[in-house]
Amino acid sequence: MKKNITIKEVAKLSGYSTQTISRVINKDLKVKTETREKILRIIEECGYKPNFYAKSLVSKKNKNILILLKRKSGHKATIWTSTLVNEIILKNTRSDISILVEQYYKDEELEKSLLSKASTFIDGAIIFYEEKDDERIKLLEKNNIPFIIFGKSYDKKNIYVANDDFNSCYKATKYIIENIGEKIVFITGESLPMNEQRIEGIIKAYTEVNSDIQELKIERFINTSSEIKEIAKKYIYNLPECFFVNGDEKAIVLIRELFNNGIKVPNDVAVMGFDNLPVSEYTIPSLSTISLNYKKLAESLLKKIISLMEGGNEVTEEVESKLIIRESTKKLKKNQGGKDEEI
């Protein structure tokens, strides 16, 4: 590592001009996020810290919040994640705070991440897709960087902001049982705390209305389009009364695959989603779903992490959702197409 590297050498390594490097060093908010992240990483790797900049690190007024996304290899970014991240960025109205977004797939990649290479530039973090013994949290705690988690945490001491998953699925399941039937297939992904809460809400609904819990089938670890298609084929000759799908994107793929196999929604089987993505309103049939309050989730995540960065005390929060009834679950209700029902 060079001890006396110059700004020109940083410019050469990064492919940007010395003027751009200087703007990043001086926290110019007009520099694109992608450009800033690349330059900061190179600065950290090269050890470029001129005296005036080293001093600014001690008394810097601008702060950086890092949103950390971990994905499984081969899995595409979900629309709901992008929607929530965009809302967080839009909610940030403070000129002294910048928001950086970084995603990775394997823990080994953390060694090259901003969190590892440029931790001195990170003042707070928002964690998506927390795992047991999460390496990101270990790094944040090691560097004394405050953080907050989106979604329920494995560790009770961690502060998180989450959708009210239990009541969301309880309400949706109760609606399905009372209006459609008891035979439900719940399609979900990884064994995350939020997903387990959703399953508990479903089970409570069955118990409360004295329905036969044996009628409930749970399909776990279903994440990709190909896996959804396999589930559709599995139930073609033994249809439930409703597929309850943990994610609108998966629900849309399911409806398409059912249609390709001659099964019509909602005439032959109902489908309920989860997320209320903008596209869900325009599918054919339009998708009944659980509507997350993205604006409130984003507002709470941002407010709490800034408070923690400034030495405040915060508590966990769960944000209420709404049940949106559209055409995909209306097979028992005639002449009711067109308008959404909010429950």
**pLDDT tens by residue, 88-142:** 999 999 888 999 998 877 767 777 777 777 667 889 999 998 888 888 999 899 8
What are the tokens at 56? 């600014």
Q: Look at residue 56 in the predicted model and tell me its pLDDT.
A: 44
Name the band, by pLDDT with cuts 50, 70 and 90, for residue 9: confident
SS3 172: helix
What are the tokens at 316? 């966990």
Kindly list the structural domains of the chain, giving each domain's residue range(s) and its CATH number in brackets, ordered by start.
1-60 (1.10.260.40), 165-292+322-342 (3.40.50.2300)
pLDDT at 74 over 60: no
Q: What is the pLDDT of residues 242-284, one digit of tens each?
A: 999 999 999 999 999 999 999 999 999 999 999 999 999 999 9
How does DSSP classify residue 11?
H
Apex 126 CA angle, 120 and 127, nearest 5: 110
Cα 273 → chain centroid:
16
Apex 198 CA angle, 196 and 204, nearest 5: 105
Kindly tell me the burial class for residue 191, based on how many C-beta atoms sit within 10 Å of its own C-beta (0-12, 13-18, 19 or more): exposed
| CA nearest to 130, candidates 191, 176, 73, 82 | 191
Mean pLDDT confidence for 222-236:
95
Range scoring the smallest mean pLDDT among 63-72, 80-89, 145-154, 242-251: 63-72
Q: Which strand (E) or helix (H) includes residue 40?
A: helix 33-46
**What DSSP string runs through 307-335?**
HHHTT-----EEE--EEEE-GGG-TTS-S
Kindly tell me the burial class for residue 311, based on how many C-beta atoms sit within 10 Å of its own C-beta (0-12, 13-18, 19 or more): exposed
Q: Look at residue 54 in the predicted model and tell me its pLDDT.
A: 43
The neighbouring-strand residues paired with 289 are 324
Is the CB of residue 248 less than 8 Å from the CB of residue 276?
A: yes
Mean pLDDT confidence for 295-313:
95
Q: Which residues contact 249 (CB under 8 A, 6 or more apart)?
A: 78, 79, 80, 275, 277
| CA nearest to 162, candidates 303, 310, 320, 19 | 320
| CA nearest to 119, candidates 103, 99, 143 | 143
